[in-house]
């Protein structure tokens, strides 16, 4: 018994030594951190900042939707605010004038992206357009994307794809809706619309709906995309506290690796199928039909540069950036219209007046229906699909708003806060599409797609998809809320700020459009 007590004493003694050693290491880290912080601040004019903690900096303050947390902090510390996420300095911008300075005077300096762990696994070592460092690779991918997808000619070329998918959405909603109102769930239908449009453009395939060729492949795709959105909407502390990478904190890196394998397998299969289709086809006589076709044509001339990994990285980026952003905006817009039936009726009256009831609304009607665009803009103002713009990182020291910003700082533009600032917008929390009738260009106070050379290149395509879907739903159907309560506008979790609850609505085919709808 005495021997056991002695061993227990030794064990307790060892535990005490371990505990003391841990405290010693933590204290040493804290002292080094504070010393570096003091040296960094000395002689520099940095923006106001909340009190921080050793090691973690201000990470403990991010305990809710980050765009809301940052807006609340900015209301205390100003529209240019310095934070520190672990070892990484962060600048939060909530001012149109500072946004303008960033993307005019400092546009080239701020053209880099932070090097985050997700970029290694999901963007193939940052070779995708969205995450690539500013330089030759980024310029080449931007040129290809513009030429093959987002130029005026290519947008026109793919107009038929967008209109066909919108017609299929209308056809799907029509089932059983001619007689009376029925409850319909909208989120899955809207997501199917945007994914099918992008997949058609990328690989001439449909993933959602009854006309899917390979249901097993479609299920794999949906599961992969869902997981990527979940991971993308989760901050990784190891990106800011480097020692956490050594232990793979919360298993985040393992999850990214597993997800990379799944997405790599899916995109590889897409490319292989496109390659097989090209065998025997005369690819020199006609314009590339899909984005993958265009990339494979470039690969044939420069296989060392246009590798399969480069193609996969940019295919995955298009699938992520070109789908969820549009679908959440359509869902927010329909929710707002259901809560404001007067706006819905005004929009429908405009469509009836300028398009009539003898045909479906088309993209070519956009110039004749500016009020629909006002609704789209007002939705993007209140609920920007990316509330915090994709982070920027200065390649050298610079000044913004009179403050010194060090190279390597993560620069976050809080578009959500700017869009709801009462000093910038009149009655900012109200849904008033008419506010966009007055000014053609809202400048740096309206930035749903970013600004400068790293702004979203697909804004034109996204706008066409959102506009056409919204106008078609308004023209073809009558809409009412389910019950007396207003549609909830709570925000869910995720990078693209979806609605917390999927939208459900009462829907009925319009009698005036019945003969057109029957033809579908």
Name residue 392's beta-bridge partners: 411
Helix (H, G, I), strand (E, B) or coil at 234: coil
Residue 5 pLDDT > 50: no
Residue 460 pLDDT > 50: yes
Encode pLDDT of 476-503 as tens digits: 999 999 999 999 999 988 778 899 999 9
Under the banding of pLDDT at 50, 70 and 90, the label for residue 244 is confident
Encode pLDDT of 90-109 as tens digits: 999 999 999 999 999 999 99
13 within a domain of the structure (yes/no)? no
The CATH number linked to 483 is: 1.10.630.10
Q: For residue 509, what is the DSSP state? A: E
Tokens encoding 450: 């970013």
Least confident of 81-85, 183-187, 237-241, 492-496: 492-496
CA 345 to chain centre: 30
Q: Which residue has the tokens 């400068």?
A: 452
Encode pLDDT of 313-333 as tens digits: 999 999 888 888 999 999 999
Least confident of 60-74, 133-147, 208-222, 322-336: 208-222
116 within a domain of the structure (yes/no)? no
Name residue 363's beta-bridge partners: none
366 within a domain of the structure (yes/no)? yes
- What is the pLDDT averaged over residues 190-199? 94
Q: Rounded to whole angstroms, how far apart are CA atoms 414 and 116?
A: 19
Encode pLDDT of 409-426 as tens digits: 999 999 999 999 999 999
Q: For residue 1, what is the DSSP state? A: -
pTM for the full model?
0.89
Q: Rounded to whole angstroms, how far apart are CA atoms 329 and 244?
A: 36
103 within a domain of the structure (yes/no)? no
- What is the pLDDT averaged over residues 219-223? 82
DSSP 339-398: H-HHHHHHHHHHHHHHT-SSS---GGGGGG-HHHHHHHHHHHHHS-SSSBPPPBB-SS-E
For residue 450, the enclosing domain spans: 136-518
Query: Contacts by 202-208 with C-beta closer than 8 Å and gap 24+?
Result: 202/270, 202/290, 202/291, 202/292, 202/315, 202/318, 202/319, 203/270, 203/273, 203/274, 203/290, 203/291, 203/292, 203/315, 204/289, 204/290, 205/270
25 within a domain of the structure (yes/no)? no
| Top-confidence residue, 482 or 236 | 482
Q: Work out how many domains the chain is built from and give that number.
A: 1
284 within a domain of the structure (yes/no)? yes
81 within a domain of the structure (yes/no)? no
510 and 500 in contact (C-beta within 8 Å)? no
């Amino acid at each position: 018994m005495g021997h056991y007590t002695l061993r227990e004493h030794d064990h307790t003694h060892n535990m005490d030594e371990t505990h003391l050693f841990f405290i010693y290491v933590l204290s040493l880290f804290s002292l080094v951190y504070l010393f570096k912080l003091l040296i960094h601040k000395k002689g520099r004019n940095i923006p106001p900042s909340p009190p921080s903690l050793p090691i973690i900096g201000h990470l403990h303050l991010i305990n809710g939707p980050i765009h809301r947390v940052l807006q609340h902090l900015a209301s205390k510390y100003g529209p240019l605010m310095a934070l520190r996420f672990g070892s990484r300095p962060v600048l939060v911008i909530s001012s149109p004038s500072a946004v303008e300075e960033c993307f005019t005077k400092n546009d080239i300096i701020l053209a880099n992206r932070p090097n985050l762990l997700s970029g290694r696994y999901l963007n193939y070592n940052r070779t995708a357009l969205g995450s690539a460092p500013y330089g030759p690779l980024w310029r080449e991918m931007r040129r290809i994307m513009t030429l093959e997808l987002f130029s005026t000619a290519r947008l026109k070329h793919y107009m038929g794809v967008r209109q066909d998918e919108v017609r299929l959405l209308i056809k799907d909603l029509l089932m059983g809706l001619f007689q009376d109102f029925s409850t319909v769930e909208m989120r899955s239908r809207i997501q199917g619309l945007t994914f099918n449009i992008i997949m058609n453009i990328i690989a001439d395939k449909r993933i959602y709906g009854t006309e899917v060729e390979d249901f097993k492949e479609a299920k794999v795709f949906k599961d992969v995309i869902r997981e990527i959105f979940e991971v993308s909407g989760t901050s990784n502390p190891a990106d800011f506290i480097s020692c956490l990478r050594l232990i793979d904190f919360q298993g985040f890196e393992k999850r990214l690796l597993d997800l990379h394998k799944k997405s790599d397998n899916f995109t590889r299969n897409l490319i292989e199928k496109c390659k097989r289709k090209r065998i025997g086809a005369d690819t020199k006589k006609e314009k590339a039909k899909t984005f993958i076709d265009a990339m494979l044509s470039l690969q044939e001339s420069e296989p060392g540069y246009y590798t399969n990994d480069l193609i996969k990285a940019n295919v995955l980026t298009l699938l992520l950036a070109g789908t969820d952003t549009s679908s959440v905006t359509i869902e927010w817009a329909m929710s707002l219209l259901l809560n404001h039936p007067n706006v819905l009726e005004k929009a429908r009256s405009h469509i009836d007046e300028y398009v009539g009831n003898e045909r479906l609304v088309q993209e070519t009607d956009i110039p004749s229906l500016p009020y629909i665009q006002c609704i789209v803009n007002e939705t993007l103002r209140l609920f920007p699909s990316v509330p915090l713009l994709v982070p920027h990182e200065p390649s050298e020291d610079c000044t913004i708003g009179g403050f010194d910003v060090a190279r390597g700082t993560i620069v976050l533009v809080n578009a959500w806060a700017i869009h709801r600032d009462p000093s910038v917008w009149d009655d900012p929390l109200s849904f008033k599409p008419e506010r966009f009738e007055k000014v053609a260009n809202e400048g740096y106070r309206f930035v749903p797609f970013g600004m400068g050379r790293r702004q979203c290149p697909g804004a034109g395509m996204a706008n066409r998809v959102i506009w056409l879907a919204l106008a078609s739903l308004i023209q073809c159907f009558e809409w009412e809320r389910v019950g007396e309560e207003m549609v909830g506008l709570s925000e869910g979790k995720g990078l693209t700020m979806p609605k917390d609850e999927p939208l459900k609505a009462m829907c009925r085919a319009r009698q005036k459009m019945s003969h057109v709808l029957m033809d579908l």
